Amino acid sequence: MTTANKLAIPTSQLLDEYKFCLEAMNRSPKTISWYLAILEKYFAFQTSNQMLKPVQELGAAELRAYILHLRQTTRWANSPYIRKATGKLSPYSIQGEVRAIKAFWGYLEKEGYIDKNPLARFPLPKVPQKPVHILSSEQIMTLLSQTDRHTATGAKYYTILLILLDSGLRISELVHIMMKDLDLQHNCVRVLGKGSKLRTVPISNLTRKEINRFIISFRPQLYQVESPYLFPRSDGTPISINSVQQLLRRLARKIGLDGMRCSPHIFRHTFATQSIANGANVFVLKEIMGHSSLTTTMKYTHLQPHDLQVQHAKFSPVANLRLRDNS
């Protein structure tokens, strides 16, 4: 492709081709929509500020101007679902947008639309390191005790809580579990994770028993239609993510988890942290959680001081030496 031809390609065509590329890479529709929405906003900003140029001429200066614009942008400003938008965009949202823009420029270089990526070394905006609060064993027991497993609905919610805590599944993976995915004879569940990657996740005997109990004793009471899903709605489609999120928020309020966000993702963090504290191999944990890199797995572990002390006492070279105490 000649330089003249490159310059002639409008951004709308580049975005269409990028969409095809993402689809070929088997990215989820939600991920593709997220990338394209950010890029459309970015190019719209350049146009409205008379800064839009061919992609070969856009670089760090234009991206810095956009970051300054984002820092002054109100959250949910154009959302039809939010009546009154308040507050500025979070640093995490801004970093996510910059990450998406950098990814697009990497694609442009790889496909030969630009000779050199001017954003390759562009630093991501820094974000504050927020402490992630995980659930303690006592809080887990209290949450479970608030769910009446002797009713059909209670048994469903109790089983959902156990699966989240026992497997570290993403909420999207949990709601799409199908009956055919269960291998209760071997204590495992097959799930379709990010990037349509299929993996097998082990579960404990207790969780297996509760799943089996729910299927035999309560699932027929809840659903009058045939459905392939373990937790369907009345029309046979999978239970919504929002309904699980609402359940967790309701239980958190009920037991007084003040100042702590109780979400499916907190359960995933709790699973990872408690597993490491109990002696899990981090490489095994990576496979169970469906991470592509060990770095991502480590971000999910938040060991407490007591856990660090216990592990240190087990593995410290000095603690395991038989030295005389001369004090």
Q: Which residue has the tokens 């000649």?
A: 2
d(CA 296, CA 134): 17
Q: What averages of pLDDT result for each successive group of 10 residues across the chain (327 residues)?
A: 57 92 86 93 91 86 94 70 65 93 95 92 86 82 89 93 92 93 93 85 94 93 87 89 89 75 84 85 88 82 63 65 55
Q: What is 3-110's CATH number?
A: 1.10.150
> pTM for this structure?
0.69
H-only helix segments in the chain: 3-8, 11-24, 29-48, 60-71, 91-110, 137-145, 152-167, 171-175, 205-213, 219-222, 241-255, 264-277, 282-289, 294-299, 305-315
Q: Tell me the three state secondary structure of residue 26.
A: coil
Give the start-to-end residue ranges of the domains of the chain: 3-110, 137-313
pLDDT at 81: 46
Half-sphere exposure of 175 (CA within 13 A, CB side): 14
Q: What is the pLDDT of residue 83?
A: 52
User: Position of tokens 């095809």?
Assistant: 20
DSSP labels for 242-308?
A: HHHHHHHHHHHHHHT-TT----HHHHHHHHHHHHHHTT--HHHHHHHHT-SSHHHHHHT----HHHH
Beta-bridge mates of residue 190: 200
* pLDDT for res 4: 46
pLDDT at 325: 54
C-beta of residue 164 within 8 angstroms of C-beta of residue 174: yes
Q: How far apart are CA 211 and CA 302, in angstroms?
A: 29
pLDDT for res 323: 53
Using DSSP's 3-state secondary structure scheme, residue 229 falls into strand
- In sequence order, what DSSP letters do the residues of 182-205 get, joined into one string? EEGGGTEEEEE-GGG-EEEEE--H
Q: How far is 131 from 324, CA to CA, in rounded Å?
A: 40
pLDDT score of 260: 63
CATH number of this structure's domain 137-313, picked from the four choices 1.10.10.10, 1.10.443.10, 2.40.10.10, 2.60.40.10: 1.10.443.10
